[in-house]
Structure 1
């Protein structure tokens, strides 16, 4: 069984690639090692992947992929994207990396893997808009370049499926955290600021925002559950997350409790396009994938703190 993971050196992609390699699959990863954040952090992930036998290719998804990758994959998990809600990222970058890259990947997959069992698009709760508390049947109302272009990418994938050209599904992930989380994301940034005793910038009002914070290990279990279920989930959109909500304030307090030090909070202006509330409605995931998140919020944060200590403080 041959699997391709795009964005394989990133946060969730690296965990997924590592899991499948340890399970004995032939795993190929592709990543462009973007400078959106320090490529050195991705190279740390890449070293972990190489140790478990992942074949990692450094390339951009907008390139001619036939020159970079082998053919005849059984599954493709498409994590690669221009991530996050950032005022410093241009619309052009979101369009290039989320829309054009996805279509180029689809065109290559159709040509080189005619027997592909399933193309798994990795989407986001940001597709829903300010209140991501909806079932998969609701009309999305994204409010950011990120959410809008990820919705467009999702529809490119499902459009190919509706046309009968490829088997595909889309998994909408909710507020993933854990070891290897990107440095600009909430908990890695918070942990670093506490240990460094520097100010932690908190967007005004965001302490009241609630999230379905989902441990990365539970996300990987959802990816694993896809294998062999292509007939059941072909054409489906499925929410993947935790069905328990916590506020940002509660998360900060948990991290302070785990580390034993207080954060130095610095209130900054609200971030345009931010979500007020996310609640993962996962009835469909439970039914189709047998998905059930198992890691408690505290346990997951403890694992993230421990990872940070080992990688950056030891």
Structure 2
């Protein structure tokens, strides 16, 4: 199959391109050519907002849109495409209002989430724009993605703290729960969709169980071969100043996804793969000043 992957140079889009290329497909990626290209894929240097006729003569068995963040992104890509058989959009769990009962289900009404703000409403607009023009398209709504090629300062931040034998500062008592999903499993879901063509067209995707942030940090430290020493931070200090996730606990119902694929990658295995990639790609991490804040505000009297 000829597959077009948008982006292809960073984390989810890069892993997706290389995953399908390794599976034997003819993978094309289109991006602006400002970063190294994925292995095994053919680059098409273009801007999705100014495609002209560069894609008009091509037919793709699948378009995997990893980098659409709003309705205009989807509209401009569709305007520039030729023919295609399948379209898969990677959306987000941020489309669910935090006021809904949990777990969030695909049939729940989407709406503004005060935690995610415009990011979530823009993703809703992207979904609507797609279904208006491609009613048989597929939309995937993941929670926090993890695994190799993750250049965000999430598990990478914890890995660094573990390597440096730092105590770790947790919000409150560390009981907030998070739901993760391995990037490889996301690709397996897309592969299953292309093969099975399910009647359902919107899928929540994610691990079947959530973990507390204390459990997650402990697993990250264990991956590095260390055991964390925890310090707990009061509620009145902004969480994102010293911890990589919002003060927001939510959970997705992923039962429909579970009918598509078998056993998922364990969080432990996902973190091992992530750490292996991280050790060789430290400069790729988009860092935030979390340790700097901790050192300034929490460790003033520590050696």
TM-score by length of 1: 0.76
1:158 is aligned to 2:105? no
1:238 is aligned to 2:203? yes
- Match of 2:279? 309
Please tell me whether Structure 1 or Structure 2 has the larger radius of gyration of its CA atoms: 2
Provide Cα deviations, 1:104-128, integer angstroms capped at 9, x if missing partner.
Answer: 012223xx11xx2111111111111
Provide Cα deviations, 1:225-268, integer angstroms capped at 9, x if missing partner.
Answer: 122333x34x7111111111102221111111221344787965
Measure the CA separation in 1 of the matches of 2:250 and 2:190.
21
Change (3 A) 1:215 1:264: same
Change (3 A) 1:154 1:207: farther
Which of 174, 179, 183 does residue 212 from structure 1 map onto?
Answer: 179
Measure the CA separation in 1 of the matches of 2:6 and 2:282.
26
- Match of 1:7? 7
Change (3 A) 1:257 1:23: closer
Contact 2:177 2:250 in 1 (8 A): yes
CA shift at 1:311, angstroms?
3.2
Which of 142, 150, 164 does residue 181 from structure 1 map onto?
Answer: 150
Measure the CA separation in 2 of the matches of 1:71 and 1:294.
34
Contact 1:61 1:101 in 2 (8 A): yes
Contact 2:17 2:27 in 1 (8 A): yes
- Match of 1:102? 74
CA shift at 1:29, angstroms?
0.8
TM-score by length of 2: 0.78
Provide Cα deviations, 1:44-73, integer angstroms capped at 9, x if missing partner.
Answer: xx3xx23xx201234332122533686211
Contact 2:55 2:80 in 1 (8 A): no
Measure the CA separation in 2 of the matches of 1:198 and 1:60.
43
1:258 is aligned to 2:209? no
Measure the CA separation in 2 of the matches of 1:197 and 1:68.
51
- Match of 2:254? 282
CA shift at 1:280, angstroms?
2.8
Map 1:1-314 onto structure 2 (within 5 A). 1-32=1-32, 43=36, 46=37, 49-50=38-39, 53-67=40-54, 71-81=58-68, 97-109=69-81, 112-113=82-83, 116-130=84-98, 133-143=103-113, 144-162=117-135, 167-184=136-153, 186-195=154-163, 204-205=171-172, 207-230=174-197, 232-233=198-199, 236-261=201-226, 262=228, 269-271=238-240, 274=246, 276-287=248-259, 290-312=260-282
Change (3 A) 1:6 1:198: farther
Change (3 A) 1:198 1:29: farther
Measure the CA separation in 2 of the matches of 1:121 and 1:275.
27
User: Which secondary structure state, in structure 2, belongs to the residue aligned with residue 75 of structure 1?
Assistant: strand
More helix by share: 1
Measure the CA separation in 2 of the matches of 1:190 and 1:172.
25
Change (3 A) 1:279 1:118: same
